[in-house]
Amino acid sequence: MDTVTISKEKMEERLARFKTLKPSKQAFVDTRLPEHLRDIFNVIGPGVTEDPELKPAISDPQGFNITYVGAEPGKGAALHSHPTVEVFIPMSGRWSVYWGDDGENEFILEPFDVISVPVGVMRGFRNVGEEPGYLMAILGGTDAGKVSWSPSVLNRAQETGLSLDESGNLVVDSAQ
């Protein structure tokens, strides 16, 4: 294989510095539910965000997407599934990754543990540590698709004024 020469300027387009990342507090339909408040940082690729305004630091996913999640203790994502594999790696804190139609299964992960959740499995996660923590999520594929939510999550989210349009993007009810 021939090597590729790339300028420092071009390589800088492929650099994400954590201190300059801008998180979204409303990247998903569940983020107004108190137990699911969290910060979403799209690092590489668009991921599966439902907020079309959330742009990744590195826009060219080339086969995978990386998102960082920051959450206070007890907070995390509601039950959902993806059309791609999702890998979770805690960067700090302790995290529960739970799965099943009702979230009946669970593993507790410590920093740098890794779990790979198969396509279509309902899963969620939450910070079970005593301090704010960060979790890395890696989604397979250049196009990671959209999230499928548990119907109970969508019903609760609608009560907060958030729903999804036919394309899977957030709709904010201005009356709420």
Superfamily in which the 17-169 domain is placed by CATH = Jelly Rolls (2.60.120.10)
Q: In this predicted model, what pLDDT tens digit does every residue of 125-167 receive, in sequence order? A: 999 999 999 999 999 988 888 999 989 999 999 999 999 999 8
Q: In this predicted model, what pLDDT tens digit does every residue of 53-100 receive, in sequence order? A: 899 999 998 999 999 999 999 999 999 999 999 999 999 999 999 999
Q: What is the pLDDT of residue 1?
A: 86
CA 62 and chain centroid, separation: 18
pLDDT at residue 175 is higher than 90: no
Q: What sign does the CA torsion over 83, 88, 93, 97 have?
A: positive
Residue 106 tokens, joined: 């669970």
- Mean pLDDT within 5-10: 96
Domain boundaries, the chain: 17-169
Burial class of residue 42 in the structure, from the number of CB atoms within 10 Å of its CB (0-12 exposed, 13-18 middle, 19+ buried): buried
Supply the DSSP symbol for 172. E
Q: What is the pLDDT of residue 59?
A: 93
- Mean pLDDT within 37-56: 93
Q: How far apart are CA 176 and CA 173, in angstroms?
A: 6
Burial class of residue 99 in the structure, from the number of CB atoms within 10 Å of its CB (0-12 exposed, 13-18 middle, 19+ buried): buried
Q: What is the pLDDT of residue 176?
A: 58
